[in-house]
Chain A
Amino acid sequence: MTSPAIDLDHVTRRFGGPDPAVDAVTLSVPKGQFLAIVGASGSGKTTLMKMVNRLVEPDEGAVRVEGAAVAGEDPVQLRRRIGYVFQGVGLFPHMTVGENIAITPRLLGWSPEDRAARVAELLDLVSLPRDFAGRFPDQLSGGQRQRVGVARALAARPGILLMDEPFGALDPITREGLGAATRALHDDLGLTTLMVTHDVQEAVILADRIVVMSRGRVVADDTPAVLLAGHADPEVAALMETPARQARTISRLLQAAAPEARS
């Protein structure tokens, strides 16, 4: 049996408060899965994800990526082979779009020709015109910037993609389109994707599996369909009910509006 792409084994992290930010979480992500971690602010979901590429170190427990313990690996090398899409994008404002996308390949010592070819390929992949390579981030819209952020994360052909609230700051239409595009990339490139979000609807639509976190612990872990059907934990049930509740509200409004529209 192949080892899981990401394996978190009883990881705990404290930030000095009375309760740990992440409390003895065990989580295994098989290769090729799209996993969404949902939960309220402060539930520990981002901290948990940052342990994967050692932006945060666990106080206890072990993290393994593709079978190898990350504690024994140089964090810099580790991060270069894991794609990361940041909350708030975090593009380097003094570099062009092309330079931003090519940053990890450059750190890995790729030749300029290889980098230029890869930038063109990635701009195609995230549906941006190739001449965007010469622009600066402040000349782009929010949605375009986040597409560049995704392209940057994928530049060095990582097997694993981490995304921290990637579409949080975008308008709903852009958000939906970019979500679908990301899922398509996940499937086409055979990635293992870990996405942190507080948007249950987004998680339900995009992910294969949803992990719900609350106060540093995993309180639910299943496929979207199973979780939507109900859960023993009332907190989880209420959270998972939100998209369905919204859908019902919307359909009621539509029905009420329909006769008027007909007359």
Chain B
Amino acid sequence: MSAADSQVAAAWALLPDYLSQHVVLSASALALGVVISLPLSVLAARNPAVRWPVLTLAGLIQTIPGLALLALFYPLLLALSGFTEGVFGVRLQALGFLPALLALTLYSMLPILRNGVAGLTGVDPAVREAADGVGMTARQKLFRIEAPLAAPVVMAGVRTAAVWTIGAATLSTPVGQTSLGNYIFSGLQTENWVFVLFGCAASAGLALIVDQLLGLIERGAARRQALPAIIGLALLGVGTLAALTPQLLRATAPAYVVGAKNFSEQYILADLMASRLQADGALVTRRDGLGSAIAFRALEAGEIDVYVDYSGTLWTNVMGRKDIPPRAELMAELTRWMAEEKGVAVLGSLGFENAYALAMQRKLANSLGVETLGDLATQAPALTIGGDLEFLSRPEWTAMEKAYGLRFRRQKSFNPTFMYRALGSGDADVISAFSSDGRIAAQNLVVLGDPKGAVPSYDAVILISPKRAGDRRLIEALQPLVGAIPVEEMRKANYAVDRDEGKISPAEAAKRLAAAIGR
């Protein structure tokens, strides 16, 4: 089987889960959008003083990029969750379904509102007067005359909203809601174009089918024929129910939620942990592609049960420490602090470091005589540095800059995959690299030394949420991974996913890694 074939097979295997979650999410958001927007459009159609602010606000929401709107709901819900917990004793879920649902609902409202108002105000005034004249109450006029006459226009709005919602639902992956976007986001990260295309095709196909079914209902409404409307409604209902079934089945059994940040190593390690749990007979759900800062907070809140983070990242970003103790000391202090302050269990280091480091092409480093960050400082004013999307705003970078007095000619941010390409194309001379990255060896790069110890150590550690900190089954399933992964094996696995030719899926890489380390 060729690499592409195995990727397609891997994509198909994920489809039932991704598609059903995508359908349930978009259907809920659309239903909620319709339920909110229809009464609102009646109000807006009746009252010009309501119409303007409602339509303007809905239009304004539409101008917010979808990804940002979804991301904004995370802190919002987190703050709200603190409030509701204090007042009602109920915790809101800040990650996953709820923020995605709310953002998509807002997103779906504009076309429904706009067409609702247009449909209702477009009813012939003579017909409306006739409704009054034959003795209809306001309610009878709305439901017997205005609503059926506006229905085709309203349905056209619902159709537009459905297509938008299904498309925008792919953006809910970064807030921890599984969707068809998981293909696209993980595909982008690992440069797996088969996955990206698969995700696009699946969501476009879904949008097309739903659009056609809603079109049937629209046609039924316009021609006053019940049959097409009933067929459309029935098929939509059956599809949604079919998507809901696996969700409901899953909801009845408690599952471990394994999280992953948004790069290959994280996907591989999450797959590795998930398959160990599944081998033990446990149910597992995944939250993939989480932002670095979101991941820890999600763990703290119990929205994910386990994920892998890096000691130095936690040390600076979560603990807010500026000092840099030796590796063993840092680990010990981190473990103690996590248990005492957050109730989070640090199960242990996997056995390798994934440090933030600066890397250059060996040829350039040799010609400039650069071996360490100290050497780099003298050459930096003539060079361009490329960082991944978060590196240049991270405290590690500030620490390096300060300790060595690094001043570059230019700074650029890249998606991690494109960052390595930038070195080859000359768009960047120095990049922020991860020490476990397989491309360091493969592309013949040098990692520059840090003699002053400006950056802490970055042992990959398994973190377990406070809720699961004493969960024997989880701990026993994952304990064997502690100290079991040498950095060479991790690099090999990462490279297998990241390379351009003959790449494999993270799940496949996790399988090979497990075999290589005998776990």
Contacts and interface: CB of A to CB of B under 8 A. Distances in A.
Contacts of A86: 126, 129-130, 133
A238 to B, nearest CB: 31
Interface residues of A, number: 22
A107 interface: yes
A87 B136 CA distance: 18
Contacts of A94: 148-149, 224
B149 A76 contact: no
Contacts of A90: 124, 126-127, 129-130, 133
B137 interface: yes
A91 B224 CA distance: 16
Interface in A40-93: 53, 55, 76-80, 84, 86-93
Interface in A126-164: 136, 152
Given A92-B145, A94-B224, A107-B140, A77 B135 contact: yes
A103 interface: yes
A90 B136 CA distance: 14
Nearest to A104: B134
Nearest to B151: A94
Nearest to B131: A92
Contacts of B280: none
Interface string B123-162: 0101101111111110010000100110000000000000
Given A94-B148, A94-B149, A94-B224, A89 B126 contact: yes
B132 to A, nearest CB: 6
Nearest to B127: A90
Contacts of A84: 130, 133-134
Contact of A91 (B129, B130, B137, B140): B130
Contacts, number: 53
Interface string B148-183: 110000000000000000000000000000000000
B473 to A, nearest CB: 61
Contact of A79 (B124, B126, B132, B148): B132
Contacts of A55: 129, 132-133
B136 A107 contact: yes
Contacts of B149: 93-94
Contacts of A88: 126
A90 B124 CA distance: 8
B126 A104 contact: no
A87 B125 CA distance: 11
Contact of B134 (A77, A93, A107): A107
A146 B183 CA distance: 62
Given A93-B149, A94-B148, A104 B135 contact: yes
Given A78-B135, A89-B126, 6 more contacts: A55-B133, A79-B135, A86-B126, A86-B129, A90-B126, A107-B136
Q: 6 nearest interchain CB pairs?
A: A90-B130, A80-B135, A79-B135, A84-B133, A90-B126, A88-B126
10 contacts: A53-B133, A76-B135, A78-B135, A80-B134, A89-B126, A89-B130, A90-B124, A90-B126, A92-B127, A94-B224
